[in-house]
Amino acid sequence: MINRFFVTLLLALTFSASWAQEGDGGKSGKITPVGWFLSDSIKVGEPVEFALSVHYPENINLIFPDSAYNFSPFRFVSKRFFPTETEAGVSVDSAVYTLTTFELSDTLTLKAPVFYVSGDSRMPVYAEPVSIFLQKVTTAQDKLKPVSLGYVRLEEKFDFAHFGALAGYIVLTFIVVVLLFGRRIRWKYSVWQLQKEHVKFLGEMDVAFAGGIKNVAQSERILALWKKYSEELIRFPFTKLTSKEIGNMYEGYPLADHLRRFDRYMYGGEGGDSLTESVEYLKTFAEKVLEDRLTELEVEAGAKKTEPAPKPDWMV
């Protein structure tokens, strides 16, 4: 893994240097992003690395797309960001994205942007589209050839009466169980599944936060985990929204303040020390949402007679 990281870094720096010699390297004041795949082909479901580099005047503010960006026809897996390099008033930023795809087209094309930040607005500046070939996978079944085999006729002895009686008993028992306990069984299974996913979410958050937040990529990973888990519980598309948009939905509640702390750190490098409290709040938010969801399931299963409160008090 370490060797792969240094090879990727060397490729990115080499490509950026040669590209700057051929073009103006940002000296004209333009924002000049360029992207390329580090492989010439990809298999369905397997990761591929995509490098994105940009030259721009050092006095402007740029941000790279994160996990919330739609990389269609690819899906975001992870991102590595390299430190900014500045020379003669021109800054160079680079990132390597790990993507995957489940599309079946022979050629897949990606057009990735960087975002120019001016006040509250973000303007995308796109790199030239780049393509990668889909490598077809030939299965062992495709290589099988039909074979003609002889057969020996065997005397058939089968007790159909006993088989029919056993099958009827099994079907009848299944119907009775479903009628009597079907709703409670589904409830128990849903509760077990939700609790299992919650334990998995907490574990992933602890791993992502291990040692405290040290860089922007780590904070992006934590937010992505929280968005995905909360989306599954609340059944609202959090992963398609920025943290600012989610904060606007919860204006006046603690969630909005904690999401703003993440934004200040990711886009301004401020308040990194305060994110420990914010990470704990995100886990508390998820735990309270889980409790509300479990209460809904109890009511639906008839295990609880009272209806849940129309608005959760933990949001206040």
What is the pTM for the complete model shown?
A: 0.41
**118 and 46 in one domain?**
yes
**Tell me, what's the pLDDT at 315?**
43
Q: Is residue 112 part of a domain?
A: yes
Q: What is the mean pLDDT of residues 64-85?
A: 92
32-46 pLDDT, tens per residue? 899 999 999 999 989
Domain holding 73: CATH number? 2.60.40.10
Task: Name the H helices within the chain.
Answer: 2-22, 160-209, 216-234, 243-249, 254-268, 275-301
**178 and 126 in one domain?**
no
Q: Which residues pair with 121 in a beta bridge?
A: 118
**94 and 205 in one domain?**
no
Alpha-carbon distance of 123 to 83, in angstroms, equals 22
**58 and 178 in one domain?**
no
**Tell me, what's the pLDDT at 184?**
79
**Tell me, what's the pLDDT at 129?**
94
- pLDDT category at 1 given cuts 50, 70, 90 is very low
287-309 pLDDT, tens per residue? 988 998 888 888 877 765 555 54
**Tell me, what's the pLDDT at 274?**
78
Tokens of 43: 């298999």
Q: Containing domain of residue 193, as a range?
A: 161-315
**Tell me, what's the pLDDT at 149?**
61
Number of domains observed in the structure of the chain: 2
Query: Which is more confident, 284 or 6?
Result: 284
Query: Which is more confident, 64 or 299?
Result: 64
Tell me what the pLDDT averaged over the chain comes to: 81
150-187 pLDDT, tens per residue? 666 766 677 778 888 888 889 888 787 777 667 778 88
**278 and 208 in one domain?**
yes
**Tell me, what's the pLDDT at 307?**
54
**Tell me, what's the pLDDT at 142?**
55
**Tell me, what's the pLDDT at 25?**
52
Q: Could you give the 3-state DSSP secondary structure of residue 61?
A: strand
Q: What is the mean pLDDT of residues 187-201?
A: 90
Residue environment code for 13-50, b if the CB has 16+ CB neighbours within 10 A, otherwise e: eebbeebbeeeebbeeeebbbbbbbbeeebeeeebbbb
Q: Are 101 and 61 in contact (CB under 8 A)?
A: no
**How far, rounded to the nearest angstrom, does the alpha carbon of residue 283 sit from its chain's CA centroid?**
18
Q: What is the mean pLDDT of residues 209-216?
A: 85
Q: Is residue 155 part of a domain?
A: no
* φ/ψ (deg, to 5) at 176: -65, -45
**171 and 307 in one domain?**
yes
**Tell me, what's the pLDDT at 42?**
92
**Tell me, what's the pLDDT at 235?**
81
- pLDDT category at 2 given cuts 50, 70, 90 is very low
**205 and 103 in one domain?**
no
Q: What is the mean pLDDT of residues 115-135?
A: 91
**198 and 116 in one domain?**
no
Boundary residue ending a domain (134, 152, 179): 134
pLDDT of 230 strictly over 80: yes
